[in-house]
Structure 1
Amino acid sequence: MTDSTHAVVAGTRRAGPRSGSDRVRLVRGDVLVGAVAAAFTLVQLLLVRPGMGLGWDESVYVSQVSGHAPAAYFSAPRARGVPLLVAPVASWSSSTVLLRVYLALLSGVALYLALRVWRHAFRPGVLALAGALFASLWVTLFYGPQAMPNYWVAIGALVCAGCCLRVRADRRDRAALWGLAGGAALMALMRPMDAVWVALPLLALVLLERHWKPLAVLLAGLVAGAAEWVIEAYVAYGGLFQRLSDGSAIQGGLGWHLAVADQLRSLGGRALCRPCTGAQPNPAVTAWWYVLPLLALLGLALAVRARRTPPTLVAVTCAATAAFPYLFMIGYAAPRFLLPAYALLAIPAADALLQLVRTPNGSWRPLALSLAALGLAGHLAVQYDVLAQTVHRTTVDHRAWSGTAAALHRLGVRPPCLLTGEAAIPIAFYTGCGSAAVSGPNANSTPGAIERAARRLPVAALTTADGTPPAYARTWPSHRFGDLRLYVAPQARTDTGP
């Protein structure tokens, strides 16, 4: 984008009504970005099977609002944003397919709206390519239709940063002020600490420029989104600092941890890399992870040279602060943790990529265009391969949980019931039972309480095939199913009927 074009785009609101050509350009840009968002939704539905079943964390979030099973223990680091997000479907339907379709559609609409916020600063082609780069990552496609918070933190980060820049350009832009508050609230509602890290550069920007109104709006959004989490800390976790301390302990103790290599290992399709051991994936799988920040930094250098630094600098710095705790402060990795950073880096990376393949007068550079197209084709092939393997592996795991639930039903463990032990939380959701643990991050009961429960309702203790049952379950009838052994309290009558 030339300086003159940028000035026209950034100044349209101040200059008065847009010209006909401006409106046509904006409409075409919206259509282009909308097409990318629609393709994102469609690819999710085609490649990430709606019938895949719910994962471990998903079962915790969905159980908070679902009538299918009692609410699972809600550990200190979790926030209530995802239960609110899924409530319109999960509160009345137990269909995973319906929930996946709802989230896929919602994620596509959200991507469109979040990219549209940036159209004052970047050309439609840049935003469409940025959306395509972000949406084509296997981790984005995999988590877009899932009941998990990280994609929504990424959307909130895009909206919050983009609206902050709009307010900086025009303090009378009321829509941008609402977007600034809404984006901050969305992040804080999903993951309060992530919201703080993303917002740090924005807080610094408005403080340095003494823009008190956007500062107040940004802080109000963060407070509004985190309010429930803070109140719940005092009601159920012994106070805010205790909840933060418990959350840190559950995550292995926050401090200096070099997790860059762990994040690289997770890129091969590992949903959770804890402990994160084993060989690194094939370099072809991790190449994009190096290229994306390099392209973003090139985009920043080009923006500085063109004297349109702020939008690119804000995107890069917010991405850096969003990524920092997950690269240097946590002792394990999950690819979804860095989704906000990927979303923000995609915009300057797309800007740089388009400038590499086009001359200043707008004509294509054939060699650069061919190399970029070849690289993107290889990138898409790798992302599809990792996604397909991850979806297959995840589907197999979820079907195993569903099969265990069916086996428990045949053994008489039906709602109201209680499960404890190996993978009790997700299997309990599939079975329609409550779950209990006497140790670990999800500890919410005692052996005595579980024994008492076994006198009045069906209870089962799950172990690995060669595992040792808890003392209270050693005399319970044992049943082998797959990789698990099911110890069923004798009060649970075996159903031998059809």
Structure 2
Amino acid sequence: MGDGTKATAVTGRRRERETLRPGTGRRPTDRRPLAAVAALFTLAQLLLNATGLGLGWDEIVYVSQVTTHHPAAFFSAPRSRGVSLLVAPVASWSASTALLRTYLALLSGLGLYLALRAWRGLFPARVLATAGALFATLWVTLFYGPQAMPNLWVALGALLCVGFLLRALPDRPDRPPRSPGTPRPAGSRWPVPSGPVPLGGVMGGAALMAWMRPADAVWVSAPLLVLVLARRHLPLAAALVGGLSAGAAEWVAEAYARYGGLGERLAEASRIQGGLGRHLAFDDQLRALGGRGLCRPCAGALPSPALTWWWFALPLLAALALAVAIRAGRTLPTAVPLACAATAAAPYLLTIDYAAPRFLQPAYALLAPPVADALGHLARAPRGRWRPAATTLLALGAAAHLAAQLAVLTHVTAGQSAARRDWARAAGTLHALGVRPPCLLTGYESIPLGYYTGCSSGDISGHNANTTPAAIGAAARRIPVAAVTAPGAAPPPYARAWTPRRVGGLTVLLAPPPDGGAAASGR
């Protein structure tokens, strides 16, 4: 081949790589903006969400399952062990909370990058970077990024699964998937993959969701399953169902081992969550946005509109994104994540009578790419020129939104830090009273207090019931036992004759020492 022919071939390949993708009007996604967003997300977690923040109640349940330095807390029916396995590489050998927070911050930053990369070719790089920034700057994302909690990982799994599935769909519903290496036909609106990567991505994203929260995974995946069955895309259907099955396998197996069956575990999970049914929780979720980690029961005034206006803007921007996509002839990359976001939010808006901001993280993540695309449409004229007035208003709105999110994050972090310091101080007092490992705490807040004290925890009633008065009495003959009561509450019947002590704002009743000696006086 002559030099001129080689030059022509190289130029042709370069032009092919730089060709604008049909339907998007942009070049293929660049990794650098996505990597920058993920890196800033990680850095913001480490700077704004202090690595010294102690473990919270739910984190204690998950982390204690894999530690060797603390007894395992009661693991209730709705929970899945995905988080426990996620933190095991650090928590299984180290008691350092700072190390665990750093590990999770780095891991969540990497997860965000990979989840955004799954959408390459579906939206331009600037849209995906904007989507990542929109999701990453929510206070709930920044707060829970370095925490041992499942919802963020369901959100990232949802982004992976939906993005790869859209890339794996054939160009037309009546056209079978092309084999690797086959040229893309003219007029295709999004890329058809070559090789097994998209199918593996669908399976991996579905497995991650189900590994963390099986019920959430089913809700997110429902529109996807309908779509791939309607398209008669059996490999995608198999990948989706296979991923869900693989991720939920342990949870289902445990249902039969501990609860007598899947139906029994689901019924117990429903009971613990207050009985799933027809409950409108829109106002509860709105109250929680002001900085309440768990709103149960959810009462009080609504937060300031300055903190919640973006929540009302989301459905409007989603509708605009869908209209823009329909007009541009690329409906599926916008309509599918919007549908999955709706089904992801549905159980938490329509079926439970309490709220937590983290419950809606998968919906927020799936809304981010279409909403970012809608914002780009508002900021740019059809020929790509910036609209000065619209761009200025959007910039001001983004600045106000970011300031509000940082204000809520600061408030939440300060409140949670104080609560967890109180648990640590109470643990120190209990140690001084003679309650040291091996030991048992029962009653009010026994799970977090037990973890900070190094004791096992137990309850005879409520959502975390795992013992009986007889078992507590038997334990008191072997190890130090204390019952904790809430302020103003009566002591439990089995502890009425025990020695009361004040520990902060709580009353602790100390069982007689197991060696038969005098009760600890605390002097």
Q: Shorter-chain TM-score: which interval?
A: over 0.9
Aligned equivalents of 2:501 and 2:44: distance in 1?
41
Aligned partner of 1:147 in structure 2 is: 148
Deviation for aligned residue 1:171: 6.1
Structure 1 pair 389/402, CA: closer, same or farther in 2 (3 Å)?
A: same
Q: 1:299 aligns with which of 289, 309, 321?
A: 321
CA contact (8 A) 1:69 1:432 kept: yes
1:419 aligns to what SS in structure 2? strand
Aligned equivalents of 2:28 and 2:54: distance in 1?
39
Structure 1 pair 31/276, CA: closer, same or farther in 2 (3 Å)?
A: same
Deviation for aligned residue 1:21: 3.4
Q: Structure 2: which amino acid aligns with 1:227?
A: A
CA contact (8 A) 1:293 1:349 kept: no
Give deviations 1:130-178, integer Å, cap 9, x for gaps. 0000000001111111100000000000000011111104364410111
Q: What are the within-5 Å matches in structure 2 for residues 349-364 of structure 1? A: 349-364=371-386
Please state if 1:327 is matched with 2:327. Answer: no
Aligned equivalents of 2:522 and 2:279: distance in 1?
53
Deviation for aligned residue 1:359: 1.4
Aligned partner of 1:210 in structure 2 is: 232
Aligned partner of 2:424 in structure 1 is: 402
Please state if 1:413 is matched with 2:435. Answer: yes
Deviation for aligned residue 1:355: 1.2
Aligned partner of 2:18 in structure 1 is: 21
Aligned equivalents of 1:26 and 1:399: distance in 2?
51
Aligned partner of 1:167 in structure 2 is: 168
Q: 1:342 aligns with which of 354, 360, 364?
A: 364
CA contact (8 A) 1:89 1:98 kept: yes
2:30 aligns to what SS in structure 1? helix
Deviation for aligned residue 1:465: 3.1
Aligned partner of 1:114 in structure 2 is: 115
Q: Structure 2: which amino acid aligns with 1:468?
A: A
Aligned equivalents of 1:171 and 1:362: distance in 2?
28
1:460 aligns to what SS in structure 2? strand
Of 410-419 and 243-252, more deviation after overlay is shown by 410-419
Please state if 1:228 is matched with 2:250. Answer: yes
Structure 1 pair 366/55, CA: closer, same or farther in 2 (3 Å)?
A: same
CA contact (8 A) 1:410 1:495 kept: no
Which structure features the higher share of helix residues?
1
Aligned equivalents of 1:200 and 1:92: distance in 2?
39
Q: CA RMSD in A?
A: 1.8
Deviation for aligned residue 1:28: 7.2
Of 172-181 and 93-102, more deviation after overlay is shown by 172-181
Deviation for aligned residue 1:472: 2.0
Deviation for aligned residue 1:68: 2.0
Aligned partner of 1:12 in structure 2 is: none
Structure 1 pair 491/22, CA: closer, same or farther in 2 (3 Å)?
A: farther
Structure 1 pair 423/22, CA: closer, same or farther in 2 (3 Å)?
A: farther
Deviation for aligned residue 1:18: 8.3
Give deviations 1:335-388, integer Å, cap 9, x for gaps. 000000000001100001011111122221110000000000000010011110
Please state if 1:187 is matched with 2:232. Answer: no
1:326 aligns to what SS in structure 2? helix
Q: What are the within-5 Å matches in structure 2 for residues 353-392 of structure 1? A: 353-392=375-414
CA contact (8 A) 2:28 2:121 kept: no
Of 373-382 and 408-417, more deviation after overlay is shown by 408-417
Aligned equivalents of 2:30 and 2:499: distance in 1?
65
Aligned partner of 1:125 in structure 2 is: 126
Aligned equivalents of 1:16 and 1:427: distance in 2?
64
CA contact (8 A) 2:27 2:124 kept: no
Aligned partner of 1:468 in structure 2 is: 490
Aligned equivalents of 2:94 and 2:263: distance in 1?
37
Aligned equivalents of 2:484 and 2:522: distance in 1?
21
Aligned equivalents of 2:13 and 2:438: distance in 1?
64
CA contact (8 A) 1:465 1:480 kept: no
Deviation for aligned residue 1:26: 7.3
Deviation for aligned residue 1:29: 2.2
Aligned equivalents of 1:195 and 1:394: distance in 2?
29
CA contact (8 A) 1:421 1:463 kept: yes
Deviation for aligned residue 1:125: 0.3
Please state if 1:71 is matched with 2:68. Answer: no
Deviation for aligned residue 1:239: 0.9
CA contact (8 A) 2:29 2:120 kept: no
Deviation for aligned residue 1:466: 2.2
Structure 1 pair 18/420, CA: closer, same or farther in 2 (3 Å)?
A: farther
Give deviations 1:72-130, integer Å, cap 9, x for gaps. 11100000100000000000001111100100110000000000110110000000000
Q: Structure 2: which amino acid aligns with 1:421?
A: G
Aligned partner of 1:3 in structure 2 is: none
The TM-score, its normalising length taken from structure 2, stands at 0.90
Deviation for aligned residue 1:290: 1.0
The TM-score, its normalising length taken from structure 1, stands at 0.94
Deviation for aligned residue 1:196: 0.2
2:120 aligns to what SS in structure 1? helix
CA contact (8 A) 2:28 2:125 kept: no
2:441 aligns to what SS in structure 1? strand
Aligned equivalents of 1:17 and 1:309: distance in 2?
29
Deviation for aligned residue 1:452: 0.8
1:332 aligns to what SS in structure 2? coil
CA contact (8 A) 1:297 1:348 kept: no
Q: What are the within-5 Å matches in structure 2 for residues 251-262 of structure 1? A: 251-262=273-284
Aligned partner of 2:83 in structure 1 is: 82
Deviation for aligned residue 1:19: 4.0
CA contact (8 A) 2:54 2:421 kept: yes
Q: 2:339 aligns with which of 296, 317, 332?
A: 317
Deviation for aligned residue 1:281: 0.5
Identity %: 61
CA contact (8 A) 1:293 1:345 kept: no
The runs of 5 or more residues in structure 2 that have no matched partner are 1-11, 21-25, 171-191
Aligned partner of 1:242 in structure 2 is: 264
Aligned equivalents of 1:426 and 1:120: distance in 2?
46
Aligned equivalents of 2:138 and 2:27: distance in 1?
27
Q: Structure 1: which amino acid aligns with 2:232?
A: R
Aligned partner of 1:46 in structure 2 is: 47
Aligned equivalents of 1:137 and 1:80: distance in 2?
26
Q: Structure 2: which amino acid aligns with 1:164?
A: L
1:257 aligns to what SS in structure 2? coil
Aligned equivalents of 2:432 and 2:358: distance in 1?
37
Deviation for aligned residue 1:473: 1.5
CA contact (8 A) 1:418 1:435 kept: yes
Deviation for aligned residue 1:257: 0.5
Aligned equivalents of 1:148 and 1:265: distance in 2?
21
Q: Structure 2: which amino acid aligns with 1:308?
A: R
Aligned equivalents of 2:322 and 2:58: distance in 1?
37
Aligned partner of 1:102 in structure 2 is: 103
